[in-house]
Chain A
Amino acid sequence: MEAIELLQVIPDAFGGRELSGSEVWQAKQTFRRGELCLIEAVSGAGKSSLCGYLYGYRKDYRGTISFDGQAIRQWGRAEWRECRNNHLSILFQDLRLFPELTASENVRLKNRLTRYKSEEWIRAAFERVGIADKWEAPVGKLSFGQQQRVALIRALCQPFDFMLLDEPVSHLDAANSRIAGELLSEEVGQREAGLILTSIGLHPEMKYSKILRL
């Protein structure tokens, strides 16, 4: 997948509201593979809605979103599954981890499906982001910041052309945020993938190719 295009897209919830200054809603916007894009927004501007539309689990919008020229609104279960397994990865704002599984099991659950990363890589990643001691801990017992790091590692356990991150470092301190940003840059760079990251303030320091206002 090379490009994600948004054409006159607006969430249904916005109704007839006049939007001023948004570079994403009711505009023509293209995200290209290889570009790192930061989308800054205030609360309620529709960050999570945008991620939901792009990841295909929400369809409450008007306008057209297309992947490589193909409108995604009509996609069926099989197309989405293929896309989510090979071309598009996401870090949900609410993480969507399984609290009854351990941190490592949560990551393995994804990696078992794609067989993309080795056990060693996963362990090293845990080490790197500072949660190696949480390997066997049930995710339900971890702090949100720790959970964010587990979810980030899980999101990296697959091939992708684009990665969506919905406030990935909202609960991380500056040092951890920097480490997460480095890991992210490496992985995205290796895959020559595009990155779409939303933030209401805190975001990892990366070399963004463009910064948009939602």
Chain B
Amino acid sequence: MNLIGKLLRSHLSIAQLTGFFIANLTGMVIVLLCIQVYADLRPLFGDNDGLMRNNYLIVTKKIGTLGMLTGRNSSFSPEELEEIRRQPFIKKAGIFDASRFKVTAGIVFQHIGFSTEMFFEAVPDEYLDIQSPEWHFTPGGRTIPIILPRNYLDLYNFGFAQSRNLPKMSEGVIGLMRLDIRLSGEGRQGEFTGKIVGFSNRLNTILVPADFMRWANQTYASHAQPAPSRIILETNLSGDAEAERFLKANGYETDQEKLEAGKAVGMLNRITFVTGAVGMVICILSVYILMLSIYLLLQKNSTKLENLLLIGYSVSQVASPYRRLTWALNTAVLLLAVAAVLWIRSLYIPWLTESWSDFKPASLSGMLTASAGLCLTVSILNGFAISRKIRKLS
């Protein structure tokens, strides 16, 4: 029989502990639900670029009638680039390197030959949303990896193919096709094989590796690299509004829809943050209730505690029943809160799956880690507070 436990249990207020339990459970459920809903919803707002998506903006200068007539430059000068890079909401800025030679691409598909003039662009690899082992080029190689905008595939599948009774094509099939590519310029010519290695949601252009572009421009183009007319920016998630103001003020144009998506993400962020904060406040208040309740208990038992210390018990021995009590309560709250969140989640997941066909439930790890972290932190802090109070009493 635990005599210390028996001794110190008197004066325990069930009502206070119940109050703490309910309050802490409420706060904990709100916080954890916020984290889980955020994790589940976030990908829906983010171009499928994943949870930790950064915001990418592709920026051009406005081409106005007046500008056309006056020949106003539509490319970015080094000073302008420098100014953009200096903005606090810009993480980094990259430029589009365009091909300065002639490109002809041909394809033969189901006996329909097809050939067109086209162009290539390249951006630094860190801005790509596609990872492919084939995405590299060594001078002298004959194969050019290419990334196309996903729009092109959709345009073909849902526009062209449908109206002509042609088969729809998956990414896999397209990856098997080879393009005949002819580069020419500076009196030189080269035959290459193009291989489509992916489709980008982010970059609305025909992309080749930056290494290839550098090499090809040196080989097939004479004039120096002109100033870039398109740039890609990576912004902080929270910086969307600022970015929009800055771009507008300088007469730059961007993909509006992305900014809209950015705003929706901003909204989601803010709602989650506010709700989470409310949950946190409730949690903190409930822990406060628990501490007050335990302090009161310690105060009521102060003579007993003092006597226990006087007959040779240590502070930690005397504190242990109270510590055990807080651990038990906090663990019970943790388990119940996680159970509640899982239950609520089982209600909204089917609805999300119905509404968004490509919805994939996020993992539970963030929520579980947070819950364990919260429970641990609170219990350890409680433990410290209890020991401190007992030391003060004696």
Residues of A within 8 A of B (CB): 55, 57, 77, 81, 84-85, 90, 96, 98, 100-101, 105, 108-110, 112-114, 154, 158
12 more A-B residue pairs beyond the given contacts A96-B311, A100-B7, A158-B312, with a C-beta to C-beta distance below 8 A: A57-B310, A77-B315, A77-B391, A84-B310, A90-B310, A100-B6, A101-B3, A101-B6, A110-B312, A113-B312, A114-B312, A154-B311
> Do B6 and A84 have beta carbons less than 8 Å apart?
no
Given contacts A77-B315, A98-B304, contact A109 B7 (CB under 8 A): yes
**From A57, A81, A105, contact of B3 by CB (8 A):** A105
29 contacts between A and B (CB under 8 A): A55-B310, A57-B310, A77-B315, A77-B391, A81-B312, A81-B314, A84-B310, A84-B311, A85-B312, A96-B307, A96-B311, A100-B6, A100-B7, A101-B6, A105-B3, A105-B6, A108-B3, A109-B3, A109-B4, A109-B7, A110-B311, A110-B312, A112-B3, A113-B311, A113-B312, A113-B313, A114-B312, A154-B311, A158-B312
For A114, the chain B residues whose CB sits under 8 A away are 312
Q: Does B10 have its Cβ within 8 Å of any Cβ on chain A?
A: yes
Give the shortest distance, in Å, between B66 (CB) and chain A (any CB): 84
Residues of B1-23 whose CB lies within 8 A of A: 3-4, 6-7, 10
CB closest chain-B residue, reference A155: B311
User: Top 10 nearest A-B pairs by Cβ distance?
Assistant: A85-B312, A96-B307, A109-B3, A84-B312, A113-B312, A110-B311, A98-B7, A105-B3, A81-B314, A100-B10
Q: How far is the CA of A109 from the CA of B5 in the complex (A)?
A: 11
Give the shortest distance, in Å, between A33 (CB) and chain B (any CB): 20
CB closest chain-B residue, reference A92: B310
For B315, the chain A residues whose CB sits under 8 A away are 77
CB closest chain-B residue, reference A99: B304
For B310, the chain A residues whose CB sits under 8 A away are 55, 57, 84, 90, 96
Interface centre among B7, B307, B311 (most CB of A within 10 A): B311
Q: How far is the CA of A141 from the CA of B310 in the complex (A)?
A: 23
For A101, the chain B residues whose CB sits under 8 A away are 3, 6-7
Q: How far is the CA of A3 from the CA of B6 in the complex (A)?
A: 38
For A55, the chain B residues whose CB sits under 8 A away are 310
CB closest chain-A residue, reference B4: A109
Give the shortest distance, in Å, between B348 (CB) and chain A (any CB): 51
Give the shortest distance, in Å, between B93 (CB) and chain A (any CB): 61
Give the shortest distance, in Å, between B311 (CB) and chain A (any CB): 5
Interface SS of chain B: helix
For B307, the chain A residues whose CB sits under 8 A away are 96, 98
Q: How far is the CA of A110 from the CA of B308 in the complex (A)?
A: 9
Give the shortest distance, in Å, between A21 (CB) and chain B (any CB): 32
Give the shortest distance, in Å, between A101 (CB) and chain B (any CB): 6
For B313, the chain A residues whose CB sits under 8 A away are 113
Give the shortest distance, in Å, between A88 (CB) and chain B (any CB): 10
Q: How far is the CA of A90 from the CA of B310 in the complex (A)?
A: 10
For B391, the chain A residues whose CB sits under 8 A away are 77
Q: How far is the CA of A98 from the CA of B3 in the complex (A)?
A: 11
Q: How far is the CA of A114 from the CA of B3 in the complex (A)?
A: 15
CB closest chain-A residue, reference B10: A100
Chain B positions 381 through 393: 1 when the CB is less than 8 Å from some CB of chain A, otherwise 0: 0000000000100
Give the shortest distance, in Å, between B79 (CB) and chain A (any CB): 68
Chain B positions 281 through 315: 1 when the CB is less than 8 Å from some CB of chain A, otherwise 0: 00000000000000000000000100110111111
For A112, the chain B residues whose CB sits under 8 A away are 3
Q: How far is the CA of A109 from the CA of B2 in the complex (A)?
A: 9
CB closest chain-A residue, reference B2: A112
Q: How far is the CA of A95 from the CA of B262 in the complex (A)?
A: 73
Chain B positions 255 through 299: 1 when the CB is less than 8 Å from some CB of chain A, otherwise 0: 000000000000000000000000000000000000000000000
For A90, the chain B residues whose CB sits under 8 A away are 310
Q: How far is the CA of A162 from the CA of B382 in the complex (A)?
A: 39
Q: How far is the CA of A205 from the CA of B4 in the complex (A)?
A: 36
Q: How far is the CA of A177 from the CA of B3 in the complex (A)?
A: 30
CB closest chain-B residue, reference A86: B312
For A108, the chain B residues whose CB sits under 8 A away are 3
For A96, the chain B residues whose CB sits under 8 A away are 307, 310-311
CB closest chain-B residue, reference A157: B311
Give the shortest distance, in Å, between B303 (CB) and chain A (any CB): 8
For B311, the chain A residues whose CB sits under 8 A away are 84, 96, 109-110, 113, 154
Q: How far is the CA of A27 from the CA of B144 in the complex (A)?
A: 103
Give the shortest distance, in Å, between A163 (CB) and chain B (any CB): 14
Give the shortest distance, in Å, between B366 (CB) and chain A (any CB): 43
Q: How far is the CA of A55 from the CA of B315 in the complex (A)?
A: 18
Q: How far is the CA of A205 from the CA of B391 in the complex (A)?
A: 40
For A85, the chain B residues whose CB sits under 8 A away are 312
Give the shortest distance, in Å, between B104 (CB) and chain A (any CB): 87
Q: How far is the CA of A124 from the CA of B116 in the complex (A)?
A: 110
Give the shortest distance, in Å, between B186 (CB) and chain A (any CB): 87
Q: How far is the CA of A180 from the CA of B391 in the complex (A)?
A: 35
